Amino acid sequence: MSAASAEPARRPRRPSGGPGPLLEVAVAEFNTRGYDATSMEDLSRAAGITKSSFYHHFAGKEALLRAALERALDGLFGVLAEPGASAGSPSERLRHIVRGQVRVLMTDLSYVTLLLRVRGNTETERWALERRRAFDAEITALVRQAVEAGEVRAGIEPALAARLLSGLVNSVAEWYRPGRPGSGTLPDDVARAVFEGILPAA
């Protein structure tokens, strides 16, 4: 028998039981099963701990959802608080925010994915949707400033442009996977595609 075959089979790593690892397990299950279809039994089984151990850290399933959505929203609103989001021309600020949105999505992909899937079925989901609308309102106001400054083509409806911007950025969650080639420049690449287009200048 070789040394390799004598080595005992390695078991999958289990979460340590702390709130951070448990939250990651919950987010993965919510994204896979859907929040409504996921039970605390499913979560405890996935984490390899008892339900009582889970309840030691979180009051219940909705508390887990709230913590996960707060993380995603804190990241997005954190971009708005950065100096680059408030200094410079409106278009420069928009470019900074788009880069920041992509960066947050890449860093917290599973959390942002969960945020994009909420439909308002619970109090926590309705709270998250309201926060998303507040974020979108900030972008709409900035697009309007860019239109007024002549930095965006005249006739563009700011609310429509803001929705298109959000839709483009959010679509990255559907195909981006950590470690894929070109990830290092993805925030800049997305911002360039948004503000400079993908076709060569005429």
Residue 132 tokens, joined? 């998303």
pLDDT value of position 201: 64
CA distance readout (Å), 79 to 47, 102, 139:
32, 10, 12
Same domain, 77 and 29: no
Same domain, 46 and 136: no
Q: What gap in Å lies between CA 104 and CA 186, rounded to an integer? A: 12
Same domain, 78 and 52: no
Same domain, 95 and 107: yes
Residue 202 lies in a domain: no
CA distance readout (Å), 138 to 16, 94, 101, 146, 162:
39, 10, 13, 13, 9
For residue 77, what is the domain's CATH number? 1.10.357.10
Same domain, 46 and 86: no
Same domain, 85 and 26: no
Same domain, 69 and 51: no
pLDDT value of position 202: 58
pLDDT value of position 153: 80
Same domain, 52 and 92: no
Same domain, 191 and 94: yes
For residue 48, what is the domain's CATH number? 1.10.10.60
pLDDT value of position 19: 85
pLDDT value of position 17: 56
Same domain, 105 and 192: yes
Query: How many domains does the chain contain in total?
Result: 2
Residue 107 tokens, joined? 């860093």
Residue 201 lies in a domain: no
pLDDT value of position 131: 97
Same domain, 88 and 175: yes
Residue 190 lies in a domain: yes
pLDDT value of position 155: 82
pLDDT value of position 179: 87
Same domain, 99 and 155: yes
Range of the domain at 153: 62-196
Per-block mean pLDDT, blocks of 10 residues, the chain (202 long): 39 56 96 96 94 90 96 98 96 96 96 96 96 95 92 85 90 91 92 84 61
Q: What is the pTM of this model?
A: 0.86
Residue 6 lies in a domain: no
